Amino acid sequence: RLVHSTADETSARSCRSVFGRWYDNSTPTLQQCALRCSWCPVCRYASFSYQQRDCSLYSACNVEPLLPRGYGYRTVDVAMALAVARSKPARVCGYAGVHATRKSEQTQPKRSSQLAVYTAVIGGYEKTFKEPTHCNVPFIAYTDELTKTHVTHGKRSCWRMIIARAHLELDYTRGCRNSIASNQGSFNVAKFYKLNPHRLTELSTFKHVIWVDGTVRIHADLTALAFARVLTSTSIVSAFEHCELNPPTRFEHCRDGLLRNEVHIMDDIFRASRGSKGVYRGQDFSQQEQYYLHESGFREHWFANYPEARGRPQYGVWVTTFVVLNLANPDTRRFLDRWWFENANTTTQDQVTFSFVAWRTGLLPYSLPAHNVTGTWLANSLFKKLRHHV
């Protein structure tokens, strides 16, 4: 059924005319098409065309219907977990399709536990799992057994080891350049676990989960009241802003909230590493820069009028070594699906895609430091980031 809503200038503009394209010669799946496109935040429909190999230049709720013989733009109800639309969206933003129950909410598992920490280290890239100071929440590690725990004699590790086997079965992006089937490098496999906690059985009962890179050692009590305020503030995702006042190298300089700074510095890191085969396998950094900065329609400081960004000059680029996720919110699943799709389709540099996905979905991260959390992404009241290969 259709219900009337206010069709003012603001809501009309919210149907962004951003579109995407896919570059390989394979036929994209329904999920690939829908995730590549930007959906309208009013009616949450995405529109795409198999034949044109792109997304509609028009907003999802102002799209022309599918023409005879299959030509034209189809619509997908993103709120219904990428199901083909049961009916066309209304022709104007003043009307939005309303469904009695969303499929994503129907299938949401019962979350009996509050918080877990997870990581993934594949291929022995890090030598040890970093033991936290407190073991009072579950710590779950996905691994191939090449990385070891390191604890004092007579003590048990906080980490529960899970042999990483789920990635091949659960990855839905087959055919993309960085799908697991196409890129089984250890760095990319670990990324699957990082960006898909909502698909992992071991994490399905938790309301909040925290991703930590293999270089992070947590020294805070995550059950303390001070951190509880961070969890309460995390409606979707929280992370530290990318700014370090005393960076150890030029690669850690403040990004000043600008995606172009992150893209350019990642290009510098790639050149300095001379295209390391392990970490940057299969990546095209020149194409990455061209797409994210020139072709996608992305604009810096798009969030300037939102309350989340007020008084935060570094808002806009985040470090993803420590990421808090609210899995009880269906929008978090939408953010994660898009994040993994960008990884699979374009680049494994997830700090680039994190900021891009925030713009594409319109889902704003909660920035740290905040409340009683102090420090920067390298060292703070929650954790310390160590060097690699330790």
Query: In sequence order, what DSSP letters do the residues of 148-190 get, joined into one string?
Result: EE---TT---SEEEEE--HHHHH---TTSTTSTTT---HHHHH
Residue 352: per-residue pLDDT:
94
Distance CA 346, CA 121 (A): 22
Helix, strand, or coil (residue 265): helix
Residue 17: per-residue pLDDT:
38
According to the per-residue pLDDT averaged within each range, which of 30-34, 66-70, 251-255, 372-376 is highest?
Answer: 372-376
Residue 85: per-residue pLDDT:
45
Sheet with 139-143, edge to edge strand ranges? 159-163, 139-143, 113-121, 206-212, 318-326, 237-241, 366-368
Distance CA 300, CA 233 (A): 24
Percentage of the residues of the chain whose pLDDT score is greater than 90: 41
**Average predicted confidence (pLDDT) for the chain:** 76
pLDDT at 277 over 50: yes
- Range 167-186 average pLDDT: 86
Structure confidence at residue 196 as a pLDDT band (50, 70, 90): very high
Higher pLDDT pick, 273 / 276 = 273
Query: From the CA atom positions of the chain, what is the Rg in Å?
Result: 21
According to the per-residue pLDDT averaged within each range, which of 6-15, 49-58, 145-154, 166-175 is highest?
Answer: 166-175
Distance CA 248, CA 246 (A): 6
Residue 69: per-residue pLDDT:
41
CATH topology for 113-385 is Spore Coat Polysaccharide Biosynthesis Protein SpsA; Chain A (3.90.550)
Least confident piece of the model among 154-163, 280-289, 322-331, 369-378? 280-289
Distance CA 319, CA 242 (A): 5
Task: Give the start-to-end residue ranges of the domains of the chain.
Answer: 2-102, 113-385
pLDDT per residue as tens digits for the range 92-114: 333 222 222 233 333 455 555 79
Residue 222: per-residue pLDDT:
95
Cβ-based neighbours of 42, under 8 Å, separated by 6 or more? 5, 11, 14, 15, 61, 93, 96
Least confident piece of the model among 26-35, 171-180, 256-265, 354-363? 26-35
Residue 67: per-residue pLDDT:
44
Distance CA 45, CA 107 (A): 20
pLDDT per residue as tens digits for the range 33-70: 655 565 555 555 666 665 555 565 444 454 444 444 44
Distance CA 46, CA 356 (A): 17
Closest CA to 230 of 362, 374, 384, 385: 374
Residue 111: per-residue pLDDT:
55
Helix, strand, or coil (residue 212): strand
Residue/partner pairs of 356-360 with CB below 8 Å, 24 or more apart:
356/259, 356/292, 356/296, 356/298, 358/303, 359/298, 359/299, 359/302, 359/303, 360/18, 360/38
> Is residue 237 within 8 Å of 323, Cβ to Cβ?
yes
Closest CA to 382 of 134, 43, 65, 50: 134
Residue type, 57: L
Higher pLDDT pick, 291 / 95 = 291
Residue type, 113: S
Structure confidence at residue 246 as a pLDDT band (50, 70, 90): confident
Residue 29: per-residue pLDDT:
65
Residue 383: per-residue pLDDT:
97
Residue 278: per-residue pLDDT:
55
What tokens does 18 get?
């951003």
Sheet with 45-49, edge to edge strand ranges? 54-55, 45-49, 74-77, 83-84
Least confident piece of the model among 48-57, 81-90, 92-101, 360-369? 92-101
> Is residue 242 within 8 Å of 301, Cβ to Cβ?
no
Backbone phi and psi for residue 265, each to the nearest 5 degrees, phi listed first: -70, -35
Structure confidence at residue 77 as a pLDDT band (50, 70, 90): low
Cβ-based neighbours of 134, under 8 Å, separated by 6 or more? 218, 220, 221, 222, 223
Higher pLDDT pick, 151 / 212 = 212
Distance CA 173, CA 357 (A): 17
pLDDT at 244 over 90: no
Higher pLDDT pick, 287 / 14 = 287
H/E element, 210:
strand 206-212
Distance CA 355, CA 362 (A): 10
pLDDT at 25 over 70: no
H-assigned helices in the chain: 9-14, 30-36, 103-106, 166-170, 186-195, 225-233, 259-272, 285-290, 330-345, 350-361
How many other C-beta atoms are found inside a 10 Å radius of the C-beta of residue 172? 18
How many other C-beta atoms are found inside a 10 Å radius of the C-beta of residue 106? 9
pLDDT at 237 over 80: yes
According to the per-residue pLDDT averaged within each range, which of 86-100, 106-120, 186-200 is highest?
Answer: 186-200
pLDDT at 304 over 80: yes
- Whether the model clears a pTM of 0.85, i.e. scores above it, the answer is no
H/E element, 3:
strand 2-4
